[in-house]
Structure 1
Amino acid sequence: MRQLAANAKREVLIVSPYFVPLEGGVRFLSALAQRRVKVRVLTNSLAATDVVPIHAGYTHYRPALLQAGIELYEFKPIRADGGGRSPRRVTFGGSSRATLHGKVYVIDRRDVILGSFNLDPRSARLNTELAIVIHSPEFAERMAGIFERAVSARSSFRVELAPPGATPPTPTPPIMPALPSAQKSETDATQTSKAGIRDMKTHSMGRR
């Protein structure tokens, strides 16, 4: 896979749910960008990832990648609240449709690599991974088309460097629903608490 990417002339498309390139990966991708190879990466956003520490590891490398001219996109989770949006048709999503799962690499719209390999240290050094290389411009164009839909504003965030001196936006705090117990009187709450403590004392010995 590294050899195919190293020989790219025009474009490398990367779909890696867990993307932690480390310093060596940053240098490799930056070298491609310096040769005017367009490098575009799609990975999970913090809202979509199912492994937060992996995303934290990835964010460390974002500035260097962006400064090198690499395009970064982060997958949006699909709303499951019945908010009226029609579901997206992005085949890189997992079975839950809320997180990115597919691992796809398209080189020069000629070669496609499909498999289980993420661009992260675990796939590179610990896991046993499988991949298949498909030499087919027609199939590569189809996969590139899916990539374009996956990185659209409807499906993904575009990550960009803020202008110098810009103030980062203040995150909006989540709105927490009122708990039913908040409507109880103080007396009822105290009685419930005492009953719960007695019940806990009665049953806790059996659990140990």
Structure 2
Amino acid sequence: MSQPWISGNRFSLLENGEQFYPRVFEAIAGAQREVLLETFILYEDKVGKALHAALLEAARRGAQVDVTVDAFGSPDLSVEFVSSLTSAGVRMHVFDPAPRVFARVNYFRRMHRKLVVVDGKRAFVGGINYSADHLADYGPEAKQDYAVEAEGPIVAHIRSFMLSAIAEGRTGRRWFTWRRAHPSVEMLPPAGDADAQFVWRDNRDHKNDIERQYRLAIRLARKRVVIANAYFFPGYAFLRELRKAARRGVEVSLILQGNPDMPIVQTAAAMLYHHLLNGGVQIYEYCERPLHGKIAVVDDEWATVGSSNLDPLSLSLNLEANVMIRDRAFARVVGDSLQRLMRHSCNRVEASKLAESPTWRKLRSFFLFHVLRRYPYWAGRLPAHAPRLAPLLPTEVAATDTVDKQAFP
């Protein structure tokens, strides 16, 4: 089910927490009517506390503030952190609040989106969570990541989606969701020349929308494709589109993790290297620090930024959101940023330098052609449930903390 392309928008690329946090905190602190925020991770570190202060400032001025966090990604918020927000009128929602006894087992089908809409006029979409590891002063483990700030009519569509997610998660009634959310798609005045499409992935009606838009853009590419993605392990159809584009003369470049936050990520992606390199795809490993970005550009015409990785979790399980942008000026900004990354912070992977035994080659071939071809099917067989939101109250945080302290003394 395709989402409409909306014209008249303006986008600004925000790289890492140094650019993202000041803009989003300023927007939230200055909100007059409404703040909608969704995030996978909210930690109670210096970034989380700065967000906390901005949310309080908005709420105390009378803005309605809704914050949605994922139970697995944001498990350790204190009673004081939550109670000060709820006392000021902030409505805190937690996605899939499964009990945590002995281990956090509620891993699959997470709410992985990172979205903000302020006063229905400014939106932020990307992959940056609210944690200090998105800032360079965190050290060698600081993440490289991206987001966009959006203005224009697309913001109303993002706002409508977020209101719908809250309503559906709390009521479970789709008709109620439609009646509440869709009247909020008001016509905002044009802010620029960019066409945009807000695309999300869920486990019901939009299971493969983000992947489908990626594959369509690659299929239409004529000059170049550059994809920077932290967790790269897509299905066979996606890999086939990359190889087909390279064979018809498109310069296809992948920027993947060379200094991963989880070693298994690099191991999994490396299983695909020979297959892609032999098909003409160029691979660069970003080695300066962990790559967390989910960003791509095609032909200086099309770009995407969002929360979706290109792996089974994001493409088949998690709730994700990306914005697709058709604008030459913005695509050039993205392209220039990724070119700098490849020139100054990456090592190019050469097929001649990859050692591969005959046994490993057979194993890799089996995995590619028998497992990856079927992964959308087996991923879909993992436990599924309807999105569920619950209010996050200080008393519930205290009870959860008690359980954790008993399980992990």
Q: TM-score range by the shorter chain?
A: 0.5 to 0.7
Look up the match of 1:182: none
- Report if aligned partners of 2:227, 2:296 keep a CA contact under 8 Å in 1: yes
**Aligned AA for 2:317?**
L
Corresponding residue for residue 158 of structure 1: 348
2:249 alignment counterpart: 36
DSSP-derived class of the 2:226 partner: strand
Q: For 1:115-130, what aligned pairs fall within 5 Å after superposition?
A: 115-130=306-321
User: Equivalent residue of 1:100, what SS?
Assistant: coil
Distance 2:325 2:244 in 1: 24
The answer as to whether partners of 2:302 and 2:326 remain within 8 angstroms in 1 is: yes
Match of 2:269 among 51, 58, 73: 58
1:124 is matched by which residue type in structure 2?
L
The 3 A distance-change label for structure 1 pair 57 and 22 is farther
1:1-208 paired onto structure 2 within 5 Å: 1=213, 2-45=215-258, 48-77=259-288, 98-152=289-343, 154-162=344-352
SS of residue paired to 2:245:
helix
- Structure 1: distance between partners of 2:293 and 2:269: 17
SS in 1 for 2:244: helix
Residues 105 and 112 of structure 1 are in contact (CA less than 8 Å); yes or no, is this contact kept in structure 2? yes
Percent of pairs identical after alignment? 30
Q: Secondary structure at the match of 2:249?
A: coil
Aligned position for 2:146:
none
Q: Encode CA deviations 1:164-187: one digit per residue, 9 max, x unaligned.
A: 99xxxxxxxxxxxxxxxxxxxxxx
Q: Deviations over 1:83-115 (max 9, x none)?
A: xxxxxxxxxxxxxxx211121110111111110
What is the CA-CA distance between 1:61 and the residue it aligns to? Answer: 0.5
Structure 2: how far apart are the matches of 1:8 and 1:119? 19
Q: Distance in 2 between matches of 1:16 and 1:120?
A: 9
Give the letter for the 1:149 counterpart: R
Contact 1:10 1:108 in 2 (8 A): yes
Deviation at 1:22, TM superposition (A): 3.8
Counterpart for residue 192 of structure 1: none
Q: Secondary structure at the match of 1:130?
A: strand
In structure 1, the gaps of 5 or more residues are 78-97, 166-206
Checking the alignment, whether the CA contact within 8 Å between 2:277 and 2:351 is kept in structure 1 is yes
Q: Which amino acid aligns with 1:99?
A: P
Whole-Å separation in 2 of the counterparts to 1:49 and 1:6: 29
Would you say how many aligned residue pairs link Structure 1 and Structure 2? 145
Deviation at 1:26, TM superposition (A): 2.1
Counterparts of 2:354 and 2:297, CA distance in 1: 34
Q: Distance in 2 between matches of 1:74 and 1:163?
A: 14
Structure 1-normalised TM-score? 0.65
TM-score of the superposed pair, with normalisation by structure 2: 0.34
Does the CA-based 8 Å contact 1:151-1:157 persist in structure 2? Answer: yes
Which residue type is aligned with residue 157 of structure 1?
N
What SS does the corresponding residue of 2:352 show, helix, strand or coil?
coil
Give the aligned CA root-mean-square deviation in angstroms.
2.2
Query: Contact (CA 8 Å) 2:218, 2:241: kept in 1 or not?
Result: no
**Structure 1 residue aligned with 2:163:** none
Question: CA contact under 8 A between 2:229 and 2:255: conserved in structure 1?
Answer: yes
